[in-house]
Amino acid sequence: MSSAIPDQTAPETDTVLVVDFGAQYAQLIARRVREARVYSEIVPSSMPVAEMLARNPKAIILSGGPSSVYEEGAPRLDRAIFEAGVPVFGMCYGFQLMAITLGGTVDNTGAREYGRTPLAVSRTGSTLFEGVPAQHSVWMSHGDACSAAPEGFTVTASTDLVPVAAFENDEARLYGVQYHPEVLHSDHGQQILEHFLYRGAGIAPTWTTGNVVDEQVALIRAQVGDKRAICGLSGGVDSAVAAALVNKAIGDKLTCVYVDHGLMRKGETEQVEKDFVAATGVQLKVVDAQERFLDALKGVSDPEEKRKIIGREFIRVFEQAQAEIVAEAGEHGESVEFLVQGTLYPDVVESGGGTGTANIKSHHNVGGLPEDLQFQLVEPLRKLFKDEVRMVGQELGLPEEIVQRQPFPGPGLGIRIVGEVTKERLDLLREADAIAREELTAAGLDREIWQCPVVLLADVRSVGVQGDGRTYGHPIVLRPVSSEDAMTADWSRLPYEVLAKISTRITNEVRDVNRVVLDCTSKPPGTIEWE
């Protein structure tokens, strides 16, 4: 979390900490807790237990992870976490770590269970398994196995290969399961998680989007005071909701700045100027910076460098806008000290922040910020996933056209061109993108997919035949994906007739394009954007 912003959790919020042991599902656990209307945050396993406890969590969840508890250098946890009186729920590696730390037995037998596995519940009336069928399938992913529970624990479930697949200690309020209840492949997994939260930890399900709005409005007012703020408005749902929240908190002390950097999709500048202002009544300043951005990106092909250049130029344009806004206000105008950004939790995580994970890619609003930033940041969405942001937007009364808009990256089409960014290439990609969006809307698929990035492989050419002649044109990539939060995604199985119509129109109507290909890669291993 940036030192320039206050803790995003209001003091009265009940918080569950998800301790990340390098699990691919850590973010999913946090989401599932929030779906149960309980606020959650992810912390790295390297965080000292004293620091975790100092945050006064109502419960702690230990995630899975790729390590064996017997590996040299495998993550460990101070026993004090289990003796602090805070309810703890271990999953997979977290379960084994709890077992071995408290005196149970974990065997490195080589007996592996991966995928859907039948679970036999021996205590169907227990805290975790009340009302859950005695036989159901769960998602396993482990090599080691717990053969004996620690003293004071009751074994509540097993599998054919694992004698202790779940255990509970109601007196100490410690619970654990060998499997992954957070994934949809585990039957009744959300019910098990909610049983821990509500029954084991005694947390009331009170965290709602209404709470988020009230808490953030209070935090924004406390942070900004009577000063002025500007917001970088892209027209996307993230910046729109962030602006609406800040506008609710400080009213006409906010000026939204829309940077027309020439990297937007067809018709989007006009949409921002018309729809968002009409919906919110905010003050909007439009800055034409197309030439500036193209000059800065000239000759640059490296995706990380492009992101950082775009982030840097955004800030410089905001500084210019700041000076103009102050000048326009006259000698009695207040200073503009705050910059509002629509940064989301996935942006922070993928930029290497929040969980101690590696940097996957620098988001322009996280890893791309210059060191000499002259604003204090206001990031009211920094701890939210995309679907939660949409719900906050609905709570604020924003129109569906804005709230349900498909995600579009802050760096715009600049990172959907693989290669150097030029005006000619941007115009080409804009036309192809507009065709894809038109056909998806006509087919009624806008709500069926998360988004459909259209990518230009500018440095690639292939031979084609058009008009009985040889062509040597660029390929366009369609990347339709389905996701809930952008942390994971799967490619969308669009109807062949829709894909065929998009392909035909692009190759017929867009110059220098003679091939359309489909990206059918999930995330992981691929990211949603190509750059």
Just list the catalytic residues: 92, 180, 182
Indicate the residue type of 423.
K
Which is it for the CA torsion 319, 322, 327, 330, positive or negative?
negative
CB burial of 202-238 (b: ≥16 within 10 Å; e: otherwise) equals ebeeebebebbbebbbebbeebbeeebbbbbbbbbbb
Helix (H) or strand (E) holding 118: strand 113-121
Is-contact 27 34, C-beta < 8 A? no
Pick from 198, 159, 200, 144: which is nearest to 176 by CA? Answer: 200
DSSP 8-state secondary structure symbol assigned to residue 252: G
Task: Please state whether the peptide bond connecting residue 524 to the residue before it is cis, i.e. omega within 30 degrees of 0.
Answer: yes
- CA–centroid distance for 53 within its chain: 26
In whole angstroms, what is the distance from residue 207 CA to residue 397 CA? 19
Dmax (CA) for the chain in angstroms is: 80
Residue labelled with tokens 């989401």: 31
Residue 300 has φ and ψ, to the nearest 5°, of -100, 125
Sign of the alpha-carbon dihedral angle for 17, 213, 319, 336 = negative
**Residue 381 CA: distances (Å) to CA of 219, 242, 323, 335, 524:** 12, 7, 26, 24, 24
Q: List Cβ neighbours of 51 (8 Å cut-off, separation of 6 or more).
A: none
How far is the C-alpha of 397 from the C-alpha of 404, rounded, in Å? 12
Which value, in Å, is the radius of gyration of the alpha carbons in the chain? 25
| Residue type at 145 in one-letter notation | A
Whose CA is closest to 471, among 432, 508, 428? 508
Neighbours of 371 (CB within 10 A): 4
